[in-house]
Structure 1
Amino acid sequence: MSNEILKVTDLKKHYKTKEGTLKALDGVSLNIDKGSIVGVIGESGCGKSTLAKLLIGLNEATSGSIIYNGRELKDILKKDKLSFRRDVQMIFQNPYDVFDSKMTIEKILLSPLKIHNIGSSREERLALIKESLSKAGFENIDDYLSRKPGELSGGQLQRISIVRSMLLNPQLIIADEPVSMLDVSIRADIINMLIRIRDERNISMLYISHDITTTQFLVNTLIVMYLGKIVEYGPVEAVINKAAHPYTKALLSHVSSIDPREKQDKIHLKGEVPKPIGTGPGCYFEKRCYRTLDKCKCSYPEFIEVGDNHYISCFNLIR
């Protein structure tokens, strides 16, 4: 049997605009094995959130294939949508946008249990909720259950968002920038919570972020995206310690070192991230790259292996 829980092949999401075709996602392929965590990093506008929305069926792809547990996502959403919604949960960037501000936390957490028929009574469901909140580090649980989302801090509400997802015992979590809106001191708590979930439940996860520092401690495989395309991917240690694509090297050069005496040579890219309109036929990164070659303007580079399961899409290492 295949160990893959998710297989994505040549996934594209294009939009027609007055300026031309906007290629929010342009040919992304990736696999997630059962029990593994894949990280996706890149600047804002690289297509990370678009990818997340396609994977959970919030948006429909222009073309390409999404296979979940051996079945095409389109077929699952037509025939078994409720089951898919239980199996695949999403943790959003801003928890305040996720919850109904008029509902109490108790009602928010009871709702998915009722929808998916988990627990035979309200008392049984409440017991499950309280046990989950306790494991997540909450004390005075009855007090939290009576509150509304606006009465909680961002960190508290994001932990509750994770608890709500885990109540359904999902097989796959899509986490879209789950710590980016939180204080640095709170981010570690959320990351540690996700690590504990990974270790205890052997859950699969796609973790999306622009922050390499937090991502590297959580994931097994790291994917680097730029303008809707993957430019580098491989085992997280290889991508972090032996980055080969100029874009990845630039991102890593801005990561702070824990040693204040360490001298860092930061790589400053030209201009800002452009809109993915009118891209190609050359490399999409060519106009900002500090190692561009003549051929970079003419065609898009294929992936080449630079290490054990470590790949980049770049002409600089092609001889």
Structure 2
Amino acid sequence: MPPIISISGLSKVYASGLHALKNIHLDIKKGEIFALLGPNGAGKTTLISVVCGLVRASSGTVTVDGHEIGADYREARRAIGLVPQELTTDAFETVWDTTSFSRGLFGMRPDPANIERVLRDLSLWDKKDSRIMTLSGGMKRRVLIAKALSHEPRILFLDEPTAGVDVELRQDMWRLVRKLRDQGVTIILTTHYIDEAEEMADRVGVIRKGEIILVEEKAELMRKLGKKQLTLQLQNPLPALPDELAPHGLTLSVDGQELVYTYDTKSERTGITTLLTDLAAAGIPFRDLSTSQSSLEDIFVDLVREQA
């Protein structure tokens, strides 16, 4: 199946000389949730803006659902729903009117049943006649999502959608995202809450200083770059780490009561077995053990630090 979004050789240089995007190559699969991660100023919003036709690229091509964004702008843009990072709504419009108007902007015929369904999914139905100016910040963000979904897009961009919103809205939003994905909608997400990406995404891309430094299936990324730790609580504290255990790269706690062994998934079986054998040979008994695994956030921080 061809990608629903195909980006090739994409660069963006602003008049100030800022090289915001550098030779981006990226394919997004139909029906996936793709998380685009990167530090502030990495180029996430610029990349989304180019794909959505809001910013003109300096070079390269972007194809959206078979339509080139420059040559066939209207068809490409009609396939996309965008939830921007900033709250941008007409304060004096009602929720119903602004959502219906957004649908009309894409040349879609009025469909009150669809607007009602979107508003109910976002718990906005009881606010349909309220003016935007009377809503809370969280409700305004729900309205942005409703506007993005009003024309039934096949692709949905969520640019920091849960920044500064309450836990209830975050949970509602992710339930809706899963429902949309199940209906075949492709979701592209940027977020600073990397735990959300870890829970939701099928694939992860990392961008730094305008360059894509990694694109990987989330499960494979966790398998390849994730690290685990085995913590052993010793029966008797050690004054220092014995020389015979040095090859394992162990860390001894300050009080000498814990040994921490860090390993990757490739060395999991042989490493732990050898370590336990060597501990027994050295006459070091332990009374308990526990394991922990690095999160996607740990991997992201390590990747960005290494590239820096």
Q: Same fold (TM over 0.5)?
A: yes
Contact kept, 8 Å, 1:8 with 1:29, in 2: the verdict is yes
* Distance in structure 1 (CA, Å) of the matches to 2:186 and 2:106: 21
Which segments of 5 or more consecutive residues in structure 1 lack a partner in the other structure?
Answer: 245-260, 271-284, 293-319
Partner of residue 302, structure 1:
none
- Tell me: CA distance 1:186–1:137, structure 2 relative to 1, closer, same or farther (3 Å): closer
**Pair 1:129 & 2:121 matched:** no
Partner of residue 309, structure 1:
none
Aligned length: 243
**Pair 1:232 & 2:228 matched:** no
Partner of residue 110, structure 1:
100
Q: CA deviation at 1:101?
A: 0.9
**Greater relative CO, 1 or 2 (CA 8 Å, sep 6+):** 1
Q: CA deviation at 1:91?
A: 0.8
* Distance in structure 2 (CA, Å) of the matches to 1:174 and 1:230: 18
Identical pairs, percent: 24
* Distance in structure 1 (CA, Å) of the matches to 2:63 and 2:54: 15
**Pair 1:203 & 2:185 matched:** yes
Q: How does 1:240-319 map to 2 (within 5 A)?
A: 240-243=222-225, 289=306
Question: Structure 1 residue aligned with 2:81, among 73, 86, 89?
Answer: 89
* Distance in structure 2 (CA, Å) of the matches to 1:116 and 1:58: 15
Partner of residue 163, structure 1:
146
Q: List 4+ stretches of structure 1 deviating above 6 A.
A: 263-267
Q: CA deviation at 1:74?
A: 0.8
- Tell me: CA distance 1:115–1:65, structure 2 relative to 1, closer, same or farther (3 Å): closer
Contact kept, 8 Å, 1:41 with 1:211, in 2: the verdict is no
* Distance in structure 1 (CA, Å) of the matches to 2:121 and 2:171: 16
Please report the TM-score for the alignment, with normalisation by the length of structure 1. Answer: 0.67
Q: CA deviation at 1:92?
A: 1.1
Which segments of 5 or more consecutive residues in structure 2 lack a partner in the other structure?
Answer: 227-290
Q: CA deviation at 1:59?
A: 0.5
Question: Structure 1 residue aligned with 2:203, among 199, 221, 231?
Answer: 221
Contact kept, 8 Å, 2:119 with 2:128, in 1: the verdict is no
Partner of residue 47, structure 1:
43
Partner of residue 248, structure 1:
none
- Tell me: CA distance 1:264–1:153, structure 2 relative to 1, closer, same or farther (3 Å): same
Q: CA deviation at 1:49?
A: 0.5
**Pair 1:212 & 2:194 matched:** yes
**Pair 1:66 & 2:62 matched:** yes
Contact kept, 8 Å, 1:7 with 1:67, in 2: the verdict is yes
Of structures 1 and 2, the larger Rg is shown by 2
Please report the TM-score for the alignment, with normalisation by the length of structure 2. Answer: 0.70
- Tell me: CA distance 1:72–1:116, structure 2 relative to 1, closer, same or farther (3 Å): closer
